[in-house]
Amino acid sequence: MAEMAVCSPRSNRDFCHLRGVTRPSKGELLFRLRDRSLSPEEISKAIAVLRGRAGIGGQDLLCDLKEYTIVIGTLGRFARWGEALELLQELAPKGLEPSVITLNAALAALASGRRRADQLDNSKEGPWGKSLHLLSRMEQQMLEPDKITYSAVISACEKGYQWTLALGLLGRAVGRSDVKMDVILCSAVISACEKCARWEQALQLLQKTSVVRVQANAFSFGAAVSACEKGARWEVAIELLAEMGRRRVVADVVVYSATISACEKGGAPHAALALLYDMRCQRIQPDIVCCNAAMSACEKAAWWKEPMQLLKHMKGHGPMPDSITYNAAVSACAKRGRWASALALLAEVRGSGRGLQVSVITCSAAMDACDKAPKPRWEVALKLLAAMPVEWQVEPNEFSYAAALSACGREWQARAALQLLRDKELCGGYVLNPLDYTCVVQACSVGGHPKGACQVLQELRLRARTALKPGAEWLGAARAVALDSRRRNLGTDLFSPAS
């Protein structure tokens, strides 16, 4: 009854619905902490009562090491490592010494800690630094770290991108007679190498597992493949996929996704598409990440037919394409000047009925397709530019204006180019660059507007004294206009010293 009296009425009401108990005792509260069906809010209330923080006059109910270990372990399940460390600090004033089990519970909390927006977790003040401190504390107190200890510390280092420390800890762990290398330890270190794009070290460790007779699992291989993806080592990633088959480890969609992404980053579209086909042969349904990575690989290789075929297959068999899919497909069409296909895709996004948004990337890519067409479609590019803020609520960016200016310049549309240059300048937020001026000069000089060309070149020459630095293309256009202006006797000397 004395234990029940410490719970405030409000705290009692908070726990009434848990097990039909109106006045929970300390033993009941500790028992409930092991119930994994409770919500984080219910767990927090139980811990607050146990720590005497549930109301005015609350009494701290935790008095022995086992009770502290239970609460610390519960906090670890919810990645609340800060509170777990606070509880460790409370032991010494009560004359309690933490055991290996208690410290392992705190280390598990640190290992489950998530990265925070302020990046503190990647510093020594974050989970990995605190884990190393606890490991050192164990050794100073003559406690024997076990496999659970090293696994937790290595996991904390992995989440903190500390691959060298993770490798060193693995060496220390297996150097002990009572700790043997297993798949959990190896996978954590391989994952640490993967996060830092250390594919060579990840591969070496994976190869070592076969030597020491450790059966690597899908997670181990997946981490090694992801490391190869970050290093754009697509050949190695494909070889690892084959090695999984030889070791009878089933590859899942995550492993395939990382392998296809490695092909995309390594510029191997043939391999990316072949892997998609292999997934279907293995009866593994590709997800949107796999398909988008293959689509991007084709786009980077300036393939346009294959992305269109892949898009058609996705609409028929899944997964349904998203905005990233369409962006890659439109960009692929743009690189080959397939402006009609790009516009059809743009219309498809608008009419999908699935809430897909037309982005500035999609619009700019479609305008780029108009520019790169065998006969630049400058009128269409200008219509798209005008429609972006009105029809699609998308503001043009530098790439949008650049595509439209280039299309006008290549088709010698002097007046349109001049107007577009002025519009861009008046919009604000855009910085005019020498390439913008070059497109306009080319349009004016060839399109029968030499005075406009001279005017633009004079303006650029004045700006060149401040920020703009004309390049070789501009100098070529300037010479052509200068010769034309002398021939026409326009009285403009573009190469005389600026006044």
More confident residue, 373 or 119: 373
Residue 424 scores a pLDDT above 90: no
In which domain, by residue range, is 337 found? 302-397
* pLDDT, tens only, 154-208: 999 999 999 999 999 999 998 876 788 889 899 999 999 999 999 999 999 999 8
Residue 417 scores a pLDDT above 60: yes
Q: How many distinct structural domains can be found in the chain?
A: 3
Percent share of the chain, pLDDT over 90: 57
Query: 33 lies in a domain?
Result: no
**344 and 265 fall within a common domain:** no
**191 and 274 fall within a common domain:** yes
**428 and 363 fall within a common domain:** no
Given a contact cutoff of 8 angstroms between Cβ atoms, the answer to whether 209 and 215 are in contact is yes
**418 and 470 fall within a common domain:** yes
Query: 229 lies in a domain?
Result: yes
Query: 186 lies in a domain?
Result: yes
For residue 430, what pLDDT band results from cuts at 50, 70 and 90?
Answer: low
* pLDDT, tens only, 463-485: 544 444 545 454 455 555 444 44
What is residue 283's predicted lDDT score, i.e. its pLDDT?
A: 93
**393 and 416 fall within a common domain:** no
Residue 27 scores a pLDDT above 50: yes
What is residue 498's predicted lDDT score, i.e. its pLDDT?
A: 41
Residue 447 scores a pLDDT above 60: no
For residue 370, what pLDDT band results from cuts at 50, 70 and 90?
Answer: very high
Query: 82 lies in a domain?
Result: no
Q: Which of 231, 259, 285 is the last residue of a domain?
A: 285
- With vertex at residue 396, the alpha carbon angle to CA 293 and CA 339, rounded to the nearest 5 degrees, is 60
Q: Which of 397, 422, 454 is the last residue of a domain?
A: 397
Query: 96 lies in a domain?
Result: no
**390 and 433 fall within a common domain:** no
Query: 193 lies in a domain?
Result: yes
Q: Which of 363, 397, 431 is the last residue of a domain?
A: 397
What is residue 218's predicted lDDT score, i.e. its pLDDT?
A: 92
- With vertex at residue 340, the alpha carbon angle to CA 334 and CA 341, rounded to the nearest 5 degrees, is 65
**188 and 273 fall within a common domain:** yes
**390 and 417 fall within a common domain:** no
What is residue 209's predicted lDDT score, i.e. its pLDDT?
A: 87
**384 and 418 fall within a common domain:** no
What is residue 450's predicted lDDT score, i.e. its pLDDT?
A: 57
**416 and 393 fall within a common domain:** no
Rounded to an integer, the average pLDDT of 308-322 is: 96
Given a contact cutoff of 8 angstroms between Cβ atoms, the answer to whether 437 and 456 are in contact is yes
**258 and 320 fall within a common domain:** no
More confident residue, 406 or 491: 406
Query: 147 lies in a domain?
Result: no
Query: 364 lies in a domain?
Result: yes
**319 and 382 fall within a common domain:** yes
